[in-house]
Amino acid sequence: MAPGNPSSNAAIVQDFLDALEDRQLDRALALLDREVEWLNTGLPTLRGARVRGALRQMDRRGIGFRVDHHAIAEDGEVVLTDRTDYLRVGPVENAFWVRGTFVVRDGLIVRWDDAFGWGAFLGSGVAAVARALVGRGARRGARD
């Protein structure tokens, strides 16, 4: 991302992901084109209103999201991200590596394509559940 260039395509993508992390859904949705296309490894492609609906459902269900940005690069309208995403439901937080490819036109994200390994995703999910169970047991033991 070019320093001092908040209108760069990379800055738009970073702002989008940060808005999701900050639970500022309106800010995030404002950065999506009306006909945005969202692809995730092995999942059905969502378009337009279905993308907005999916993000609203995640928010309503209290699914937390945070992101660690490792690298971000842009070439014209294409922005590549290398990051760790964290999805949280209650005490369970699943961390997994994601390679994202975004296409930004006229200041709006028109394509969001996240790729990740299902094996790593599921493995980190099992570890997250175990951590939550161990943590719950440790808290219970401290009260006994």
What is the residue-wise DSSP string for 68-108? EEEEEEEETTEEEEEEEEEEEETTEEEEEEEEEEEEEETTE
User: What three-state secondary structure class fits 40?
Assistant: strand
Catalytic residue among 15, 113, 114, 144: 114
Task: Give the position of tokens 């719950």.
Answer: 136
Known catalytic residue: 33? no
User: Which residues have C-beta within 8 Å of that of residue 108, sequence separation ≥ 6?
Assistant: 12, 31, 32, 33, 36
Q: Which of 26, 68, 85, 113 is catalytic?
A: 85
Q: Which of 100, 106, 122, 89 is nearest to 14 (CA)?
A: 100
Active site residue 85: yes
Active site residues: 85, 114
